[in-house]
Structure 1
Amino acid sequence: MKRFVCVVALPLALAVPAQAQSQPTAKNVIYMIGDGMGPAYLSAYRYYLAGKPGNAVAPTIFDQLLVGAASTYPDDDTWVTDSAASATALASGVKSYNGAIGLDTDKQPLPSILANSKRAGKTIGVVSTSQINHATPASFVAHVASRKSYEVIANQMTNAMTAATPELDLMFGGGLSYFSQQQLETMNRAGVALATNWQQLDEIEKLPAAALLAPVALPYAIDSDRDQRLATMTFTALSLAESNPKGFSLLIEGSLIDWCGHGNDIACAMKEMEDFAAAVTVAKDYVDEHPDTLLVVTADHSTGGLTLGADGEYQWLPLEVKRVHASTETIANALLHTTAEHYAQEWSKYVDFELTNAELTELALLANENMYTVAAKIGQMLSVRSFTGWTTTGHTAVDVPVMAYGVGAEQFTGYQDNTDIPKKIINILAID
Structure 2
Amino acid sequence: MKKSILAVVSVLSVSSCSTHTLIDDGIPSNTLPKNVIMVIGDGMGPAYTSAYRYYHDNPITQEVEETVFDRHLLGLSSTYPAAESGYVTDSAAGATGLSSGVKSYNGAVGVDVNKKAVQTVLEFAKTQGKKTGVVVTSRINHATPASYLSHNESRQNYNEIADSYYDEKINGHFKMDVMFGGGWKHFLRDDRNLVEEFKHSGFQYIDKYEQLDTIIPNQPALGLFSDGGLPWALDDSIPHRLSVMTKAATKNLENKQGFFLLIEGSQIDWGGHNNDIAAAMGEMDDLAKTLEYLEAYVAKNPNTLVVVTADHSTGGLSVAANGIYKWKPESLRSFQYSPHTIANRLTNEDITAKFANFLFNFDLTGEELEMLITVKHGTQNALPEKEAIGNPYQIKNVSNVNQAMYKAVKYLIDQKTNTGWTSSAHTAIDVPVFSFGSHSHEFIGLNDNTKIAKKIFTLLGRK
TM > 0.5 between the two?
Answer: yes
Distance 1:416 1:162 in 2: 30
Distance 1:163 1:336 in 2: 54
Distance 1:229 1:421 in 2: 27
Segments of structure 1 that go 5 or more residues without pairing to the other structure are 1-15
Q: Corresponding residue for 1:360?
A: 373
Equivalent of 1:69 in 62, 67, 76: 76
- Deviations along 1:360-401, one digit per CA (max 9) or x if unpaired, are 313432335153343123212210110001111111111100
Equivalent of 1:402 in 423, 429, 433: 433
Equivalent of 1:33 in 30, 40, 52: 40
Distance 1:163 1:120 in 2: 11
Matching of residues 244-323 of structure 1 within 5 Å: 245-323=256-334
Equivalent of 2:251 in 239, 261, 264: 239
Aligned-pair CA distance for 1:213? 0.9
Distance 2:290 2:64 in 1: 21
Matching of residues 188-267 of structure 1 within 5 Å: 188-205=199-216, 206-243=218-255, 245-267=256-278
Distance 2:299 2:52 in 1: 24
Distance 1:113 1:188 in 2: 26
Q: Corresponding residue for 1:383?
A: 414
Aligned-pair CA distance for 1:301? 0.7
Secondary structure, aligned partner of 1:307: coil
Aligned-pair CA distance for 1:18? 5.3
Q: Corresponding residue for 2:359?
A: 350
Distance 1:69 1:207 in 2: 37
Distance 1:257 1:240 in 2: 26
Secondary structure, aligned partner of 1:173: strand
Q: 1:383 to 1:52 in 2, by over 3 A?
A: farther
Amino acid in the other structure paired with 2:375: E
Q: Corresponding residue for 2:145?
A: 137
Please tell me the root mean square deviation across aligned C-alpha atoms, in Å. Answer: 2.0
Q: Which moved more, 1:116-125 or 1:281-290?
A: 281-290
Aligned-pair CA distance for 1:160? 4.4
Aligned-pair CA distance for 1:358? 3.5
Amino acid in the other structure paired with 1:37: M
Contact 1:83 1:136 (8 Å CA) reproduced? yes
Identity, in percent, stands at 42
Corresponding position: 1:20 with 2:51: no
Distance 2:270 2:96 in 1: 19
Contact 1:129 1:256 (8 Å CA) reproduced? yes
Distance 1:191 1:97 in 2: 36
Aligned-pair CA distance for 1:344? 4.1
Q: Corresponding residue for 2:423?
A: 392
Aligned-pair CA distance for 1:359? 4.2
Distance 1:77 1:63 in 2: 32
Aligned-pair CA distance for 1:356? 3.7
Amino acid in the other structure paired with 2:343: A
Q: Which moved more, 1:177-186 or 1:417-426?
A: 177-186
Distance 1:184 1:213 in 2: 12
Contact 1:51 1:319 (8 Å CA) reproduced? no
Amino acid in the other structure paired with 2:370: N
Distance 1:360 1:53 in 2: 35
The number of residue pairs the alignment matches comes to 414
Contact 2:376 2:401 (8 Å CA) reproduced? no
- Deviations along 1:151-200, one digit per CA (max 9) or x if unpaired, are 11111112347994222211111111211262111111111111111232
Distance 1:51 1:385 in 2: 19
Matching of residues 73-88 of structure 1 within 5 Å: 73-75=80-82, 76-88=84-96
Q: Corresponding residue for 2:395?
A: none
Distance 1:33 1:158 in 2: 24
Contact 1:132 1:172 (8 Å CA) reproduced? yes
Secondary structure, aligned partner of 1:286: helix
